[in-house]
Amino acid sequence: MALLKIYKEADDFMVALTQAMKDMIGAQLNFLSTADEDGNPQVGPKGTMRVFDDTHLIYNEQTGKQAWHNLHVNGKAAVATVDHAALKGFRFEGHVEGFHDDDQIYQDSVKFAEERHLPAVIAAVVIAIDRVYLLDAGPHAGDLDEGVAKPTDHFTH
């Protein structure tokens, strides 16, 4: 089981991605899950999902449709990534920390899209990771990664 680092900022704890998590996000197709104002779920692939830094994910919003709407109305997101061959995966739950459409983060996302011949970018969406759950096959499927639950693992950023 991958252990997570926890950073303390003010009174909030943030999850830090392990290298194994970063590698899986970079190698697999990731799925973004959101819910609308009535709690109706929506899930879809995000081919541009990637690691922004040790505590955040980022993706290029390209359609401005349901997930975009949902993130604006409640700001909550879950990202699932799975290595099917290894029967391992993670669900990253968090909240939108920023919609970027006119700054350096946006410009970097435009460059990311252009280099890969992807559709135009409406905005870059940054998601802060609050919790990580295991999506491994077997008895730990769906368990909260216990690395976040141990107070002794906390340290000041």
- pLDDT tens column, 91-147: 999 999 999 999 999 999 999 999 999 999 999 999 999 999 999 988 888 888 765
Write out the residue range of the structural domain in which residue 59 sits: 12-139
Structural domains counted in the chain: 1
Token pair in block for residue 96: 């939108």
95 within domain boundaries: yes
CA 123 to chain centre: 16
Residue 57, burial from CB neighbour count under 10 angstroms (0-12, 13-18, 19+): buried
145 within domain boundaries: no
Q: Identify the pLDDT of residue 39.
A: 96
CA torsion sign for 13, 156, 20, 96 is positive
149 within domain boundaries: no
Q: Identify the pLDDT of residue 11.
A: 44
Q: Could you tell me which of 74, 24, 73, 66 has the C-alpha nearest to residue 49? A: 24
48 within domain boundaries: yes
Domain CATH for 39:
2.30.110.10
Q: Identify the pLDDT of residue 140.
A: 80
Q: Can you give the pTM of this predicted structure?
A: 0.84
Q: Are 79 and 103 in contact (CB under 8 A)?
A: no
2 within domain boundaries: no
112 within domain boundaries: yes
Q: What is the mean pLDDT of the chain?
A: 87
Is residue 17 scored above 80 in pLDDT? yes
153 within domain boundaries: no
Q: Band the pLDDT of 4: cuts 50, 70, 90.
A: very low
Q: Identify the pLDDT of residue 138.
A: 85
Higher pLDDT residue, 140 or 13?
140
Q: Are 54 and 16 in contact (CB under 8 A)?
A: yes
Q: Band the pLDDT of 61: cuts 50, 70, 90.
A: very high
Token pair in block for residue 41: 């779920």
156 within domain boundaries: no
How far is 115 from 135, CA to CA, in rounded Å?
A: 31
Residue 36, classed as helix, strand or coil, is: coil
